[in-house]
Amino acid sequence: DIQMTQSPSTLSASVGDRVTITCRASQSIGTWLAWYQQKPGKAPKFLIYKASSLESGVPSRFSGSGSGTEFTLTISSLQPDDFASYYCQQYNSYWTFGQGTMVEIK
């Protein structure tokens, strides 16, 4: 199985901050990477597919980049609704999720 390593595991930030989350794959996955947001007690919400394509309805402050084994999710200006957990997920060979990053209020 392909392993996904996400960092950091926790990120403390303030409203308006630019935040970046990194995801590394144990082998090349091209751009077959998605990002999800999850709030407590809720199912994950799909944000980005193909590493950098925004799902319809997702605010433009979210962006993704990368290919091969290194990927990033950036929130350009953190909003109150963005405090949540974020997961990367590869879908090049079956699926694997990263361990998650909790974005908390500083």
Positions touching another protein (CB under 8 A) are: 1, 32, 34, 36, 38, 43-44, 46, 49-50, 53, 55, 87, 89, 91, 94-100
Residue 77 C-beta: closest distance to another protein, Å: 25
Residue 64 C-beta: closest distance to another protein, Å: 12
Comparing CB distances to another protein, the nearer of 34 and 75 is 34
Give the three-class secondary structure for 80: helix
Comparing CB distances to another protein, the nearer of 53 and 79 is 53
Alpha helices in the chain (DSSP H): none
Beta strands in the chain (DSSP E): 4-7, 10-13, 19-25, 33-38, 45-49, 53-54, 62-67, 70-75, 85-90, 96-97, 101-105
